[in-house]
Structure 1
Amino acid sequence: MSLPRTLVAMMVAALGGEMAHAADASRQAATSPAALAIIVRDDTGRDVRLAAPARRIVTLSPHATELMVAAGAGDRLVGVDQNSDYPPEMKRLAQVGNPLNLDIERVLALKPDLIVAWDYAASGSTAGKLPMALLDSLGIAVFYSRPAVLADIPITLDRFGRLAGTDAVATPRAAQLRQQLQSLTATYAGQTPVRTFYQLSGQPIYTLNNRGIIGDALRLCGADNVFGTLPAAAPMVSVEGVLLANPQVIVVGASKGAGAAGAAGADGNAALAQWKAFAPGLTAAARGHLFVADADRMHRPGPRMIEETRTLCEHIDQARSPK
């Protein structure tokens, strides 16, 4: 039995009204504060939530400062830690100390809507935990950053772009960094391993194992880290231990700034001169494979670290060619 035309018309009108109401509700839900919130997971696994893109950012680590600038958010930075000196104009911003000695009052005076801090907890340290917890309790969003491998650098850049609403800058820049890493991987994959000693400091002598981001850079270059299997992240070693390992390449991480001291006060050239004295018994010294890596670039997991890794790989590769 067919329905009367009037009834059909009423049913269609009612259905149309319900659909319009549903569409309205859907639009309202899409534009609600909850739907517009920015949620980004940090390196501790916490979801950091912002109601809107961050406009006043404080960074408490040099790598975070560099990455925020690279992400196009340099104009959003209102304060930095005392060691953030790149780009140079960052030194003109308010300095708030560091997570170990943070000036809480100065941080609060800057009225940040986002703080980016190094994740010390990943290394088992409680350094900076109390001031960060205090800031978090005051309702200030805290994002913990600790890139563990080189591939984490473009990932972090993307995340910072989302937090600051600068994806248009961050996304293509992150893609460039990924391309650089892919190029390095393709170049050095399958190359003959080169026994390498990476020196972090001079007196006492500290090195690093394979688990950190510098260890990842060495691995990408095809280096066989002679102390890579030690349990400590930054083990102390002796001169005798280095001589016994007899690396083909020695790399010293030190600042290349004019007159500046390197990592932990060890001057790079002075450290290399000490190893030269052990030639010809020390292979790296005998063959001249002694290099300085710029600590300001290599020890800060930002875009410049990937560039410095290319230089590191080129140095290591020289040891593959007989002299």
Structure 2
Amino acid sequence: MLLSASLPGMEANAQVSSAPAAAAITLTDARGRAVQLAAPPQRIVSLLPSLAESVCALGACTRIVGVDRYTTWPPALAHLPRLGGNLEPNIEAVLALRPDVVLISVASRAIGRLEALGLKVIALEPRTHAEVHGVLRTLATMLALPQGAEPVWARMEQGLAEAARAMPAQARGQRVYFEASRGPFAAGENSFIGETLARLGLVNIVPAALGPFPRLNPEYVVRADPDLLMGGVRSLGESREPYPGWSALRAMQSGRICRFAGAEADLVIRPGPRIAEAAMAMARCVQKVYP
């Protein structure tokens, strides 16, 4: 993902004494598309939860005026208009908010329609830790934050290190399967979830060659027979066998299953500024199943 920005020098505004005008900003989003903003946006619509979380982590929550229906954090956004799903948002509702910029998933089918209406659209969708860092840097530049994204990233790195230290010694090197969503869709080695698992000292049974979030045949997991299962309750179920044949898995038989529910289920599958918190949630569960 190419992430670049230029901040031209500020010019004097002859109409308002000698006060400097706001600097124009040019960003390149995940499509490789250059997006030009006349000034740092004051009215932001976010149509992807991780992007809203990132803007808030950078201290600009008050600039967000609308979000998609899946955005649940932070609580400060709870009162904002809900604009539908992130793939097919309510275009009229977005337009009515008069946003300076719309942050959106690369996969959204609404990008072309929003741009045709004259809206500025920045498409970003991180899949790795490095891309999460890059998105934070892009958003910090968009917001014209003098401190940039590095303080936020440094706290995230510190939190990841703390989560790794919290892992039980006997769990290190254990083979894990993480189900990102029902299908089963797995979190592979080269996804942000896979990278978090590696930071925790776990070994992913889904290699990078299969892609970040491949759809697997459930039999693949049976053959791999991981020591530990992780995923949301919606995927793995409360207690039942998630897929035929999985009752024979050593993880199922030993009860080494981390099922995340509610807000925690959202936390562990979102590639944003709360990756370290997700890592700690994983570590807490591993502590319970590897006492």
TM value normalised by structure 1: 0.70
1:59 corresponds to 2:26: no
What is the rounded CA distance, in whole Å, between the counterparts of 2:185 and 2:240 in structure 1? 12
**C-alpha distance after superposition, 1:23-81 (max 9, x if no partner):** xxxxx975279992122332233333211110010000111111111111111111111
Q: Does 1:199 align with 2:179?
A: yes
2:214 is aligned with what amino acid? A
Q: Does 1:76 align with 2:43?
A: no
Equivalent position of 2:18 in the other structure: none
User: What does 1:150-299 correspond to in 2, within 5 Å?
Assistant: 150-168=129-147, 170-181=149-160, 193-201=173-181, 204-228=183-207, 231=210, 233-238=213-218, 240-254=219-233, 262=234, 266=235, 268-271=237-240, 278=247, 282-293=249-260, 294-299=264-269
Hey, what's the Cα distance between the residues in 2 that align with 1:118 and 1:170? 20
> What is the rounded CA distance, in whole Å, between the counterparts of 1:105 and 1:248 in structure 2?
49
Letter of the structure 2 residue corresponding to residue 68 of structure 1: V
User: Using the alignment, how far apart are the partners of 1:286 and 1:267 within structure 2?
Assistant: 14
Which residue of 280, 283, 290 corresponds with 1:310?
A: 280
2:84 to 97, 100, 104: 97
Cα-to-partner distance string for 1:244-282 (whole Å, 9 max, x where unaligned)? 22111111224xxxxxxx3xxx4642357889983xx53
Distance 1:157 1:229 in 2: 24
8 Å Cα contact 1:43/1:146 also seen in 2:
yes
Task: Judge conservation of contact 1:116–1:144 (CA < 8 Å) in 2.
Answer: yes
Candidates 87, 91, 105, aligned match of 2:74: 87
Q: Name stretches of at least 5 consecutive residues in structure 2 with no aligned partner.
A: 1-7, 14-20
- Match of 1:79, SS? strand
Mapping for residues 105-144 of structure 1, pairs under 5 Å: 105-120=92-107, 127-128=108-109, 131-144=110-123
Report if the CA contact (8 A) 1:155-1:174 is conserved: no
DSSP 3-state at the match of 2:62: helix
Q: 1:194 to 1:88 in 2, by over 3 A?
A: same
C-alpha contact (below 8 Å) 1:151/1:178 kept by paired residues: no
Q: Is the 8 A contact 2:180 2:269 kept in 1?
A: no
Q: 1:252 to 1:109 in 2, by over 3 A?
A: same
The residue type equivalent to 2:257 in the other structure is L
More helix by share: 1
Aligned length: 271
Q: Specify the code of the residue in structure 2 equivalent to 1:290.
A: I
Larger radius of gyration: 1
Cα contact 2:163–2:276 (8 A) shared by 1 = no
CA distance in structure 1 between the partners assigned to 2:69 and 2:270 by the alignment? 14
C-alpha root-mean-square deviation of aligned residues, in Å? 3.5
Pair 1:218–1:102, CA change in 2 (3 A):
same
List per-residue Cα deviations over 1:150-195 (Å, max 9, x = no partner). 233343223222212344585422331233345567888xx95321
State which drifts further: 59-68 or 94-103: 94-103
Q: Distance in 1 between matches of 2:201 and 2:273?
A: 21
Runs of 4 or more off by more than 4 Å in structure 1?
Answer: 32-35, 167-171, 182-188, 271-277, 313-319
Measure, in 2, the Cα distance between the counterparts of 1:268 and 1:32.
Answer: 61
Distance 1:167 1:71, change over 3 A: farther
Structure 1 residues 86, 314: closer, same or farther in 2, change over 3 A?
closer
- Contact 1:154 / 1:178 at 8 angstroms: preserved in 2? no
Q: Note the C-alpha offset of 1:224.
A: 2.2
Call closer, same or farther: CA 1:30–1:160 in 2, change over 3 Å.
closer
| Preserved contact between residue 56 and residue 113 of structure 1 (Cα < 8 Å) | yes
Contact 2:205 2:226 in 1 (8 A): yes
Residues 107 and 222 (structure 1 numbering): CA distance in 2 closer, same or farther, change over 3 Å? Answer: same
In structure 1, C-alpha distance between the alignment counterparts of 2:267 and 2:28, rounded to whole Å: 26
In 2, the alpha carbon distance for the partners of 1:99 and 1:243 equals 34
Residue 145 (1) aligns with residue 145 (2): no
Say if 1:68 and 1:74, in contact at 8 Å, map to a contact too: yes
Output the CA distance in 1 between the equivalents of 2:152 and 2:24: 24
Note closer, same or farther for the CA distance 1:201–1:115 as it changes in structure 2 (3 Å cut): closer
Among the aligned pairs, what percent are the same residue?
28
